[in-house]
Structure 1
Amino acid sequence: MSTNDKTNKRLYRLDELSDYKVASDYPDVRGWELLDAEGMRIGKIDNLLVNKFEERVVYLDVEVNEELIKKGHEVFRTPASEGIHEYLNKEGEDHLVVPIGAVAIDEDAGNVVCNTISFDTFAQTNRYNKGAEIDREYEVKLLAVYYPEDEINPEEEDFYNRRYFNRNRS
């Protein structure tokens, strides 16, 4: 999940950017729990991913909980040519990203709720190792899992102007 051309880097972790901070009218949700619509714990928000060109947070970087990892190990794919089972995620891949517009920040409860993506969908989503660079290929694959009805063009100039990158509050 890394690119050889560093000039193409689109996403930065907020803690990498000393001159960036959370806007004063939004809480810093790092360390808060991410829940699905049924209140199931998806994981803890580890970091915020910023698109420097847009100058805003576009994803939450979530360290997923152990139950989601266990559920994800039940999900496997069968390569047609080999006839063997292969797990979707590998050992140590315990992070995933969630578009900021897919969640609502509940300041009163001190958590973040995702009403549009289910626990099972999160369990079936490709995860990555903490600190790995998020490239456009991963973003497109991820959005195709979260929003299978949408056609996603990775080359669009306004890629981050989709509904799932607009912030919400409850």
Structure 2
Amino acid sequence: MNDEFKNERLVPLSAMKDYKIAKDNPDVLGWRVIGADGESLGMVRDLIVDPHAMKARYLSVVADRRFFNTGDDQHLLVPIGVAALDKKGKRVFVSAVDSNTVGSYPVYTGGPISEDYEYRVRDTLARAQRDTIGTQQEHRAEFDEALREQRTQPSTISDDFYNDASFDENRFYASDQEVYREKIYSTRDYDKEDRTVTEDIHTDERRPTSVEDSIATIERLEHLRERGSITEEEFILLKKRALNL
């Protein structure tokens, strides 16, 4: 594990040398993240794991910059149990967020993950669930007041905090559903010789500079692997480079 994360509660999977995704679970790094309205919100950049419990807690998502009106990458941590897999399409579906609400999702700015950030994520998703199930207007003020009262309490994360379906990684990996409401997204033109993609990544001359570029690169690498143009080991290495890991 990298020294900077040695004493942290939560650690990026990419920083851990002795922690790998279980063999039977799909490697979702680089998968497109789809919101409730079928819009592409970004891609999975990393997993955030609890090294003591040996469990994944969050998906680290790089959001599309257009939702935040910025030229910088915006990282969002999504509780792993909130998402569902679309294994056939190699996508992750998050029903609690869409293209209209992702811009108000708490942004993770890097470094140690604070208790305050985790509570803000929980509160944001709780409000989204409330709106989804159509809570009556008279109950909304009461609901928001309850959240405010909870937030006045010390922001200490206990084991009970993760004792919730939102953090159930088994629920995530066992899920599989088709995402039907997908739009057509522009990608790079890959009607070139196979070696162009791999050489660009190897030489760092044209590394992906946006979420869409990274997704397109990884999708192309998947195709090359399926065709046998690159080995599994080459695919893993090139995908990590496309993700800047």
Q: TM-score w.r.t. structure 2 length? A: 0.53
CA distance in 2, matches of 1:116, 1:161: 19
Question: Is the helix fraction higher in 1 or 2?
Answer: 2
Kept in 2: contact 1:14–1:48 (CA 8 A): yes
2:42 matched to which residue of 1?
A: 43
Q: Provide the aligned length of Structure 1 versus Structure 2.
A: 144
What are the superposed Cα offsets for residues 39-80 of structure 1, whole Å, 9 maximum, x if unpaired?
A: 11111111000011221111000111022223xx7xxxxxxx
Q: Over aligned residues, Cα RMSD in angstroms?
A: 2.2
- 2:98 paired residue number: 118
Q: Distance in 2 between the 1:112 and 1:64 partners?
A: 13
- Say whether 1:144 aligns with 2:137: no
> 1:105, 1:113 within 8 Å by CA — same for their partners in 2?
yes
Structure 2 counterpart of 1:140, one-letter code: Y
Shift of 1:159: 1.4
| Other-structure match for 1:23 | 22
Question: Which runs of no fewer than 5 residues in structure 1 stay unpaired?
Answer: 1-5, 74-90
Counterparts of 1:128 and 1:165 in 2: how far apart (Å)? Answer: 18
For 1:119 and 1:52, the matched residues in 2 are separated by: 32
TM-score by length of 1: 0.75
Q: Which residue of 1 aligns with 2:226?
A: none
Q: Corresponding residue for 2:113?
A: 134
Task: Give me the identity figure in percent.
Answer: 30
TM alignment of 1:82-97, pairs within 5 A: 92=72, 94-97=74-77
Match for 1:22: what amino acid? Answer: I
Distance 1:121 1:154 in 2: 27
Going from structure 1 to structure 2, the CA distance change for 1:121 and 1:46 (only over 3 Å counts) comes to same
> What are the superposed Cα offsets for residues 93-144 of structure 1, whole Å, 9 maximum, x if unpaired?
6111101111111110011001222333321022133x43211111101111
The answer on whether the counterparts of 1:121 and 1:146 sit within 8 Å (CA) in structure 2 is: no
Higher normalized strand content (fraction of residues): 1
